[in-house]
Structure formats: structure tokens, C-alpha cells
Structure 1
């Protein structure tokens, strides 16, 4: 046997426990038993003799794999594993890695790398500066110095992904590492949260007790920390209205509750106007604040104190005024509810409910109104329909027993695959995936995965013929948007070609029946709704 043949044989067959064996066992121990990915040549040895307790979910593009893993991690509350190809695959996935970073979703992203022995020659399909490429949108990145360091690197990556603030991490693994000898490891048990400073929390409690008209601004951190029930209790104790923070990517408070005030706009002046008259602004699980347009003037109403409680020290550090406290949001809310005496206050004015929309035309407003009336209760909703978000907020109420997910980054291509991940993570309830026509086309191949796995996702495509949100924004600049029209898309054909049953409706008189049909049975279905402008 030649030396070359010996090397190939050594790559294929190990004489004892290998890096691959150690990693497979580690993944099982950590509970990362579902692997999302789109395989390439440099990743194949990772999956040799994959044990039955590990399952592989195939996406037809790397960004779809990351979006699925993001939804799965959010639905389960556990770090998800996604495997990508070297530079090209990581490049495809970067948009949704960025979204996972903004969503604060715990992901362990592994990627292939060429064999160590040929890296000096810049081989085909290798990753130059592999750990720099996904930065700054991963919390930590490593290409282990030795093959035997791979299991420990993945264990550390899992711990970092799950530590507050959660987020994606990245491990680059050379192809020839997998068959190297390596004993199994037992992962350490690592704390995931940091307690708040008791002195600062006592100061916040004093401000809440003294406030005549406090108001809460709640962000996605309330949902991530499982603090919604605690927040309802605190708000009811003090008659405190609760606003959803600008661009909140999760549901933060029951939207049918009399204390729910609505959704703050991502504008400094609009926020100050909405909070006017309150003497304490208590920001929970959100930045102060997320802006989408330039603004000027104060950040909160004149004379109001501001207290922020978040799990992200970097988010707290950029807070422009007031008292910023870092730590576990749930524990902090529960502590405030316990130590601050109940102080009855006059209930805020009821949220204004828009008039019933005109039913002679099929508009966004009519669609959201009828969807609110006809959709099953207790569902999970994943949304990526930017131009429909206003009518969604006006007419659709996400309740206490329901989940809502959207994209915190403002990028497109997250919603469709995230809905698949949510369905895998919560198989006991149907998922409504609400998409704009432009958004859907960023990840339309995810329908194939939905059909292949029989996922109970109901896709509703709002077809308004283009990037209408962009056209609205262009109006702020006194100009017309370029490249915003999308004529000729047939979402029924696209769905049926990938194995998903589909229907289209454009007549307002047929809308109710179409929505009812969408939620019949079990498994993926798609409804394309052709709308006219409001």
C-alpha cells in the first residue's frame, strides 16, 4: 500500500474513539440533537455513521438552514446547531446570522474548512480568515488549533451561545479533524445568567413606588426570559400601561389586555409624544430606544425618570440617560412586584380600536380583520410582511397563550424558514406564517422542507405586487422607489411545485372561506391573497 493510500485509509477509518465520536456524544449530552444544514464536501465526515439520536434537517440554501435553526431555538429555548459549508456557505447565511444576532437567538454555527495540510496553498473551497468572516455578528468564533480541541470548542460555543445575552457563535472545523483520535468529554455545567445589582434594583423600586404615572416599555427580552406572566402581574398591581418597544421581535404582553397601550414607533419624537404625561418610564428587555429615522430632542418626556432592565451589558452601556440595570429580567420584575407595595392608579385610556374596514375591497386591513376573527386560537405566528404590519397591529390581537415571532434585524428571508423551525420546536400547535410577496421570495425553497417533513405551517402570502414598504419609505424622501414592482409571481405554482397545497383569493367575498380552508386539516398549506391598497 502506498503512503498516499495509507493516508486516505487513515482518514476513513479510526482505530478508536475519534473527534467525530466525541462530538456526536457531546451533541447528545447537550441536547443539540437536531442539526440544520445544507451539506458541502468539507462537512461530509462530520456525518459519517450519524447515530439515531441525531437527526439532520436539510435546507435547500444555507440562509434557510440558519432561519430554521433560529425559529427552533426560539421555540424550544435551547441552543440549536446549524452546519454550513466553508466561505461560500457562510456567505449565503450571513443575512440570517445577523438576524439571529439581533434576535439574541442561541445558535452554534459550525462550518467546514479544508484539510490543514493544504491550507498554506489556498486550496479550492477553503475559508481564509474563517473566524473573521462572521464577525461582528457572532459572540465568539474559533478554528481550533488541534483536532482534539474540536469537542471542547463546541462545548464552549454552546455555553457562550446560551449565556446572557444569548446569540450565535461560530466554530470552523477542518475536514481532516473528524477522524483524528480523541477521547470523549463531559461538558461542564455553566451558569447562564447574572443577578442584578441589589442596590440598583432597590433604587428602581423606590422610583416605581414614588411614581404617580409610571409606564412600561417592554421588548423581546421579556419574551426570551419568560417574563410575560410576571409583567402582567406587575402591571396589574400598579395600573401601569404597557407599550411594546419599537421593532419588538416577540410578543411582550397580551394584546387584548386593557393595560396594553400599543406599539411604539421607531421615532424619537413619536416615542416622547406617546409617553407624554408619565413620570417614570420603565424599559424592560429592550434598548432605549430602537430608531428607524433620525430624530432630535429628548429621549423621554420632560421630567420623567428612566429605568432600564436588560440582560445585555452592551445594550445597557449605550443607554443615553437614567438608570440602566443588567441581569435576569424575570427575576427583576418579580422582585419589583414583591417589594413595591401595590398602588392603585387610574386605568389608562382604552386603546383606540380602528373602525371595521371596508369589505368591498380586499385590503390589508380587511385581511387582518378577518384573520383575527377566523384563525384558530393558541397558534404561533411568524411574520415577515413589513407593509402589512400597521394593519396587523390594528386588527390582530396576539393573546396570552400565543406566540409571535418576527425579524429584529429588518432583513428579509428569515420569516419563512423561522416558521419551519418554530413548527419543529412546538409540534403541538399550528403555525401561521404571514409573509409579504417580496419577503417570501428570499427563502421560497423552504416550502420544500415544510412538505418533506409534513410541518403544520399555514403560509399566508400577502401579494401586493411589490416592495410596498419600500415605496412608503421612499415617500419620506419625496421620491419614487426603484425596482419595487414584482409582477408575474405565481405563489400557488411555486408551492405546488414543491409539494405544498395552495390556493389563491382576490375577491373579498371569498376571503372568509379561503381563510377557513387554510386552517383545515394538518400539514403545510399556502394561501396567496391578492390585495389592493388601503
Structure 2
């Protein structure tokens, strides 16, 4: 009879999970005995990096990635990026080692007392199998649950001695899990859009997850509807050079109402419209506006403070809306006014991002984690193609750099550009090592201002003029990159920036550009 390891490897092969992300520890090693040649193991130098790489890989492939962590300590290290994966709705099968079953009653070293409870509430399902022979079934269930909309991470704790136990064969099953819309609700939503005087669409990350970019463009053009990006959207859902593009909603109650004030029917797609970062007052939507929400996450539908919701995947719902919607002709709204171009006299983040937009090919993939430069990025670095922008939906730091590595592993023929703040980069700088090991085509662009600029922004919001513990002018990212095997260049003026970006964007392997900004 084959072992649990043999049966699990066969299952992972059948499910397409042949790339494993991990940081090896003692309680996980038996999984890797006689590791098959058609699998690859991607090592991260810290478990948060491991989780971030797997997140980027899963988003890039559209399928659940396999993660192997080291007992409770490794799960603890990974929790920040597990939270981000939960908010990103990224499908992951996260496993962790557990001590041998025979010594569990004695609370041994590296023992996890309540292993399946530890990662909650940031997983959809978690278990420690009752028997060794149940491990393959648990991993398959974790995969099925992770892939069922709304997607998300799952967790399985596996005792060290389970892998070598005898195990009967396990056959993977097929489960259809599409979320289809209610025909009655779609008809009502289509009628509201048809009757609208000035409709608007608000796109969130679910549009990209469901591959609905083209359907959103078609619906917007049919209705001549202005299209906004939802607050803190983690992916791109509409071309930002389109004449109907209306810009980005701010995560503030008053700002959302002010931006949408001229619209009488608002359709939110793929995520929350009313996502807030600061407290506010007043209505959640313009008082006379009719709000509709469509997305696969029933939790978003439940807590939304306004509007009628349809729980469905965006591509199915938009196909139905396009079939049902027949509006009268409308005038096209005036195009969004773009800011004047910067001349480079000052080395600002806006200028750096403007030059990146000028020099990059539009199909390159942007993975962003530069919170204080989000506004300049919206103004200066338009996203023009589907599936070319990714960022953290949680607000947590340390996701962007390793996610760029995972994205490059998932899409090896595409150039990946990681746009990172200097503070953000230091949360997961070890991820550079994996980029070097796999010689991945990534440009790491570090916006170096020598401090946590986002906190200074919030300090001004709270009337604070001096903030402690927010300065780090000594960091040298070119030296840090070299220490991980990645060549780098620093640029502190316009000419040096152009030369460094041209060099980096043309490189076949990983490179780092440190842009020193005012």
C-alpha cells in the first residue's frame, strides 16, 4: 500500500498544485522525501514572504496555491499576509507541520495545542485530520473550499509522522461552484439602469477575479455610464484611459457621496462601494440615488450600509445585464480632466511614476505597495490592460514585494514591476532572494523618502506635527539588493532615473531601482 505522502503527491498533481511555497522546518521534512521531478519548491526566507509569494502566484494563475509552513511559529509569522490573502479573496491551501501523534499528550517542543483554531478568522476552513489516512481528503476539501466563490485561504495541520503511514488511493472529485445571478433581480437591476438619467458603475477587485473587464466596458458604453474604481480596490477592472473613466473613490463617507452626487443609479461590481478608512457623518449614498451591488461575497452584501445586492459572480451577472438592458440613447459625460505633466525639476513620487508610465509597456504587470504614493499613482500611472494591477486589499504591509515574486513565477513571460515604498519594502526584503534564485524578470522600484510618509499624512490629519519612530534615512536599497543577489541602481535626479528605469525594464532577470524622492 502507498503512503500518505504518495497519495497526497498524486492528488496535488491531479489538482495542478505542483508548485509548493515554504520555509522548511523539522515537522514538515517527511513531506519532501523523494520529492518528484515535476514539482518545484519555492523557498522563502521567512514565512510571511512565503505566504505573500503564494498569494501572488495564486492571483496570477487563478488557481489555489499550496503553502507549507513550520508549525505554530511559522503560521504566526505568516498571519499578516494570511490576513491580506483573506481580504484579497485569494485561494490558498495552507498546511503546517504538527508534532508526532504519539507524543502529542506530552505537549512536546513545536507542539500546536489548537492548531486548526490558530489561523482563524482568516481562513474559510481549517482542520487537523483525525487519522493519517484522512490527510489527502482534508487537502482536497481545503482545495475545493478555497476555490469556491468567494475564494480564500484554507488550512490543514498535519502531524509529522502522518506522511509515512500507509494510505488507500484517493480520487479527486469535481464540484461545480459558480455563483449564478437571480433572473428576477437582474431584470429589476437592468430596468433601473435603463430608466436612469445619469448612471454610474463602481468597479472593485471582483471584476478582475471574474475576468469581466470586457463586459464592464460593454455595459458602460451601452449606458454611457461614468466608471469609478471602488475604494482600496486591489485589482484593475476598467481601462483608465477610457473616455468614460471617472477616477477613484476615496475611502471616506462624505467623499464618496460628493463624488457620486450627480448620479441617480449606481451599480457596484465586485466588491464594496462603501469601504471607509476614516470615520464620517451623513448619508452613505446620495439621498436620491438607487444603489445596486453585485459580487460573489455574501458577507459584503450583508454589511453594505445601503443598496440592493445580488450575490453572483460578475461575469455571469454582466452577461445577464447586457442581455436584458436596452436603454434609450444618452449623451456621453465629459471626460475626466487629467493633471498637467510634471517637468522633473523636482524628484517627486508623482514624477517617478509618470516616467514609469512613459517607459513601461502597457502589458507589464504592476504590483503595488506604496500607500503614501497611491494618489500620485492614480494620477500618473494609468492601468490600461486587464490583469495588470495588483495590490493589498488589507492595508497590511509586507505583501507587495513577495507577491511580485509569486506573480512572476505564475506569468514567466510577462515583465513584473513592483512599485514599493521604502517602509513597505523592508517588511519583506528577504523576498529579493527568491527573485534572484529563480532569475525572475522583475523590476523592484523603491520610492525612497526615508520615512513612513503615510503616517506623516495621518499625523497632519490628527494635527500632529512631530511623529516618533518614523524615520529611516540610513537604508541603502542598492546594497540590500546586492546582498540578496539582485543588481541595483540609485537615482536622485531625472536623468539618472530615466537611465535606471531603461536598464531595469530591459533586464531579463531581477533588478532594483532606488528612486530617491523629495
Same fold (TM over 0.5): yes
Match of 1:9 in 2: none
**Structure 1 partner of 2:297:** 312
Q: Which digits, 9 at most, give the CA deviation of each residue in 1:20-53, with x for residues without a partner? A: 1110000000001100000100000011111122
Distance 1:48 1:398 in 2: 44
Q: Contact 1:288 / 1:320 at 8 angstroms: preserved in 2? A: no
Residues 193-250 of structure 1: CA distance to partner in whole angstroms, max 9, x if unpaired? 2211211111111111111111011100000010111100110111011100000000
Distance in structure 2 (CA, Å) of the matches to 1:343 and 1:488: 61
Does the 8 Å contact 1:214/1:279 carry over to 2? Answer: yes
Partner of 2:487: 501
1:24-423 matched pairs, under 5 angstroms: 24-401=9-386, 403-423=388-408
Tell me how far apart the structure 1 counterparts of residues 3 and 283 of structure 2 sit (CA, whole Å): 60
Stretch deviating more after TM superposition (112-121 or 89-98): 112-121
Q: Does 1:525 align with 2:511?
A: yes
**CA–CA separation in structure 1 for the residues paired with 2:306 and 2:191:** 18
1:519 counterpart SS class: helix
Q: Equivalents in 2 of 1:437, 1:469: separation in Å?
A: 11
Query: How many angstroms does 1:482 deviate by?
Result: 2.1
- Which residue, 486, 494, 507 being the options, matches 2:472? 486
In 2: Cα distance, 1:510 partner to 1:154 partner: 50
Greater shift in the superposed pair: 192-201 or 390-399? 192-201
Contact (CA 8 Å) 1:106, 1:161: kept in 2 or not?
yes
Measured in 2, the distance between the counterparts of 1:520 and 1:199 equals 52
CA distance in 1: counterparts of 2:312 and 2:487, whole angstroms: 46
Mapped to 1, the partners of 2:261 and 2:340 lie a distance apart of: 25
In the aligned structure 1, how far is the partner of 2:496 from the partner of 2:29? 50
CA contact (8 A) 2:265 2:289 kept: yes
**What does residue 426 of structure 2 align with?**
441
Q: Is the 8 A contact 2:142 2:155 kept in 1?
A: yes
Give the distance between the partners of 1:510 and 1:54, measured in 2 at CA: 42
Structure 2 SS opposite 1:78: coil
Q: Distance in 1 between matches of 2:227 and 2:89?
A: 22
List per-residue Cα deviations over 1:103-130 (Å, max 9, x = no partner). Answer: 0000000000001111111100111210
**Does the 8 A contact of 1:379 with 1:402 survive in 2?**
no
Counterpart CA distance in 2 for 1:527 and 1:324 is 44
Q: Deviations over 1:164-202 (max 9, x none)?
A: 000000000001111111012111101122211211111
1:401 Cα deviation from its structure 2 partner: 4.9
CA contact (8 A) 1:164 1:312 kept: yes
Q: How many residues align?
A: 517
Cα separation, 1, equivalents of 2:344 and 2:441: 30
**Partners of 1:21 and 1:184 within 8 A in 2:** no
Distance, in Å, in 2 between the alignment partners of 1:293 and 1:235 is 30
Shift of residue 521, structure 1, vs aligned partner: 2.7
TM-score by length of 1: 0.96
Deviation at residue 299 of structure 1 after TM alignment: 1.1
Shift of 1:383: 0.3
Cα drift, residue 321 of structure 1: 2.4
Unaligned runs of 5+ in 1: 1-15
Match of 1:13 in 2: none
CA distance in 1 between partners of 2:360 and 2:48 (Å): 29
Q: CA deviation at 1:343?
A: 3.2
How does the TM-score come out when normalised to structure 2?
0.98
1:510 counterpart residue number: 496
Corresponding position of 2:435: 450
Which residue is 1:429 aligned to? 414
3-state DSSP class of the match of 2:28? helix
CA contact (8 A) 2:28 2:160 kept: yes
SS at match of 2:445: strand
- Quote how far apart the aligned CAs of 1:450 are: 0.3
- Compute the displacement of 1:511 (Å): 2.0
- CA RMSD between the two structures: 1.0
Supply the distance in 1 between the matched residues of 2:330 and 2:129 (Cα, whole angstroms): 58
Distance in 1 (CA, whole Å) between partners of 2:422 and 2:306 is 41
**Structure 1, residues 363-408: CA drift from partner, whole Å, max 9, x if none?**
1111111111111231000000111111110011111255100000
8 Å contact from structure 1 (residues 285, 309) kept in 2:
yes
